[in-house]
Amino acid sequence: MKAAPKSAIKILEEIKKHQTFCVVGHIRPDGDCLGSQLALTMALKALGIDVVCWNQDPAPAKLKFMDPEGICQCPEPDRQFDCVIAVDAASYDRLGMVGDAIRAHKVLINIDHHPSNTRYGDINWIASNASSSGEMIFQLIKAARWTMTAEMADCLFTAISTDTGSFQYPSTSPDTFQIAGELVKRGANLARICDEVYQSYPLPRVRLLRRVYNQFKLTEENRIAYLWLKKSDYSKSGATREDTEGLIDHIRSIEPVEVACLFEEIEQGETRISLRSKHPEINVNEIAKQFGGGGHKAASGARIEGKPMTVQRRVIAAIRKAIQAVPPENL
C-alpha cells in the first residue's frame, strides 16, 4: 500500500491546530459519504476532540446501523466551528443547507475522490484515483496512527463496498482490496454489513423495482437504457427517494447496454439525472458536466431545469454523441 500523500499529512498537521470540528457530507448521503464521515468523527472523538457530524438529510434506513448512538445530528443553532471537514462532496453547494450554516470557520478541509471536485476548501485532498472517500479516510487514520475500532471498520468497509458496487467498478484497485482486507482484520462484520446494506430491502423498494422493469426504454441499438421515476411512481409503490439507491444498476446490467440513465422528477421543471457507463471509453462525467453536474468516469449525475421531454432529448442526444465518438471496433 502506498504511503500517505502529502495532502493527508498536511491535514493531520492542521487538525492539531484547532479545538472544535464539524465533519460534513453531501445532501442525500450514501454509504461512502456517511461511512467516511462517521469513521472520521469516531476517530476524532476517541482523541477527546470536540466534533460534530452533520448532514442536511438523515441517513437512509439501510445505513442507520452504522450510527446506533446517533452521532450524526444537527448541532445547536448558530454553533460555530474552528475547522470544518467536508467529506465526499464534489462542490460546496452539494453540502446543501449545511453549507450556509458553517461559513464562519477558520479553515475548511475538503477530502474527496470525485474528479469533478471544484477544490473549494482551504486545504484540498482530491484523490480521483481512489475508489471511494472511505479509502482516503482509512489512509488518513492509518497515517495518523489513530486507533481503528470495529465500529469504524464497519463504517469504512460499508463506504468502500457501496461506492465500488461491491468491488465491481473499474475504480476498484489492488489497494482497495488490501484496505478492505485490513478492515476485516480490524473487526468489520461482513455478515452484518451485507445483511443491512444488500439483503434487507423494504417491500416498497421492490414495488418500485417492478415499475423499473416495466417502464425502462432502450435506444441506439439497445446501447442506451433509460428510465423515468416520477412522483406518481413513489405514491403508487409507497417508496421514498432513498429507495432509488442502486436502481439504475438494474438497467445498466443489461448485456447490450453501454450507458444507463435515470431521470428523476424532483419538482416541476427540475429533473435529477443519474448516469452509469460500463464502457471504458465512454466518460459520463464529461456528459454530466455539460449539464452543470459531475462525478466519476463511470458514474455521474446532474440536476437540470426544463420541461421533462426537453431534458430527456438533450441528455439522450449527449449520450448518443459520446457513444458515436467511440470507434465501432471498440464497441
Q: pLDDT confidence of 155, banded at 50, 70, 90?
A: very high
At 38-47, the pLDDT tens digits run: 999 999 999 9
Asked whether residue 166 falls in the same domain as residue 209, the answer is no
Number of compact structural domains in the chain: 2
Instruction: Measure the CA–CA gap between 19 and 28, rounded to whole angstroms.
Output: 28
Q: Which domain holds residue 177?
A: 6-198
Say what the pTM is. 0.89
Asked whether residue 175 falls in the same domain as residue 222, the answer is no
Residues 6 or more apart in contact with residue 178 via CB below 8 angstroms:
1
Residues 6 or more apart in contact with residue 84 via CB below 8 angstroms:
21, 22, 23, 24, 102, 105, 107, 108, 109
Tell me how many degrees the CA angle 13-18-20 measures, rounded to the nearest 5.
135
Q: pLDDT confidence of 252, banded at 50, 70, 90?
A: very high
- State the average pLDDT over residues 7-23: 95
Q: Is the pLDDT of residue 1 over 70?
A: no
| 64-70 contacts, C-beta under 8 A, 24 or more apart | 65/154, 65/192, 65/196, 66/34, 66/35, 66/38, 66/151, 66/154, 66/155, 66/158, 67/34, 67/38
Instruction: Measure the CA–CA gap between 145 and 103, rounded to whole angstroms.
Output: 30
Residue 172 lies in a domain: yes
Place of cell 452484518: 192
Q: Are 276 and 298 in contact (CB under 8 A)?
A: yes
Q: What is the pLDDT of residue 169?
A: 86
Among 124, 189, 126, residue whose Cα is nearest residue 156: 189
- State the average pLDDT over residues 318-330: 90
Instruction: Measure the CA–CA gap between 121 and 106, rounded to whole angstroms.
Output: 11
Q: pLDDT confidence of 281, banded at 50, 70, 90?
A: very high
- Strands 259-267 and 299-305 turn out to be unpaired
Asked whether residue 178 falls in the same domain as residue 229, the answer is no
Question: Domain of 175: which CATH number?
Answer: 3.90.1640.10
Residue 1 lies in a domain: no
Q: pLDDT confidence of 267, banded at 50, 70, 90?
A: confident
Of 133, 164, 198, the one marking the end of a domain is 198
Question: Domain of 291: which CATH number?
Answer: 3.10.310.30
Asked whether residue 37 falls in the same domain as residue 147, the answer is yes
Q: What is the pLDDT of residue 142?
A: 95
Q: What is the pLDDT of residue 5?
A: 81
Asked whether residue 178 falls in the same domain as residue 250, the answer is no
Of 182, 198, 214, the one marking the end of a domain is 198
Q: Are 44 and 144 in contact (CB under 8 A)?
A: no
Asked whether residue 40 falls in the same domain as residue 73, the answer is yes
Of 173, 198, 223, the one marking the end of a domain is 198
Q: What is the pLDDT of residue 2?
A: 66
What's the Rg (C-alpha) of the chain?
20
At 90-122, the pLDDT tens digits run: 999 999 999 988 988 999 999 999 999 999 999
